[in-house]
Amino acid sequence: GNSVTQMEGPVTLSEEAFLTINCTYTATGYPSLFWYVQYPGEGLQLLLKATKADDKGSNKGFEATYRKETTSFHLEKGSVQVSDSAVYFCALSKEGGRRALTFGSGTRLQVQP
Amino acid sequence: DADVTQTPRNRITKTGKRIMLECSQTKGHDRMYWYRQDPGLGLRLIYYSFDVKDINKGEISDGYSVSRQAQAKFSLSLESAIPNQTALYFCATSDRVIAGGSTDTQYFGPGTRLTVL
């Protein structure tokens, strides 16, 4: 079946540091890939997505590239801010299938001033 | 107003009680989902519905039931709550997949924190 593996957190960074959160997946066919973000006390919000190999999703300074050869979708940001502190979830959705999203376990990011 | 609302936001109940969590959406989406979130486990799918007459079990449906009362409403019930159902529950919606197009985005409600004593 489909699965998503994320690096464990928490990840603690200083403001303006470079961020990488690793995500790898297992799926048959060609899933769509997503990063969702959950701010404290809130629901999940879509951060970015990519629907085919070599696509790059980007939003709010975050980027992730769909790498089919390494089955990865790592999240990066060049300069994090305190306001980026949240839990980040990698997820996949099998295009054309009836399944809903399959999520990774989430990575908590803490950015210190 | 929020597009996806959940009620209640917090609930504490006792073992054996029947609980209903409600979800409403104003996005006009056909598809609705219920997930639970546990620390370190991410979100796991409980049930999903592609329209009012199409309801499907997810990966952890045991102990839960659902009702799709209308396109905009999707309720989750715990017939006899037990402590390991203590979790954060999320409702989500999405539009149908466009033929030949990409999978659409899911939109989440704010969550219901349920504690079963």
pLDDT tens digits for A31-84?
Answer: 889 999 999 888 899 999 998 899 999 999 999 999 999 999 999 999 999 999
Six token digits for residue B72: 């905009």
When pLDDT is cut at 50, 70 and 90, the band that residue A8 belongs to is confident
User: Is the minimum CB–CB distance between B105 and chain A shorter than 8 Å?
Assistant: yes
Largest CA distance in chain B: 48
Measured distance CA(B2)–CA(B59) in Å, rounded = 28
Quick: pLDDT tens for B92-116. 998 766 555 555 678 999 999 999 9
Q: Of A32, A98, A104, which has the smallest distance from its Cβ to B102's Cβ?
A: A32
Looking at residue B1, its pLDDT comes to 56
Give Cα A50 distance to the centre of its chain: 11
Give the rounded percent of residues in chain B with a pLDDT score beyond 70: 91
Query: Could you count the other beta carbons within 10 Å of the beta carbon of residue B100?
Result: 6
What residues are paired with B25 via a beta bridge?
B4
Distance from CA of A104 to the nearest CA of B (A): 6
- Which residues in chain B land under pLDDT 70? 1-2, 96-104
Counting beta carbons within 10 angstroms of the beta carbon of residue B44, is it exposed (0 to 12), middle (13 to 18) or buried (19 or more)? middle
User: Nearest-CA neighbor of B108 among A97, A65, A101, A94?
Assistant: A101
| Sheet strands (E) in chain A | 3-6, 11-14, 19-21, 23-26, 31-38, 44-50, 56-59, 62-65, 75-77, 86-94, 102-103, 107-112
Reported residue count of chain A is 113
Measured distance CA(A90)–CA(B75) in Å, rounded = 26
Q: In 3-state terms, chain B is what percent helix, strand and coil (to 5)?
A: 5, 55, 45
List the single best residue of B102, B107, B113 to mutate versus A (max A Cβ within 10 A): B102
Measured distance CA(B74)–CA(A67) in Å, rounded = 36
Contact check, Cβ <8 Å, B105/A100? no
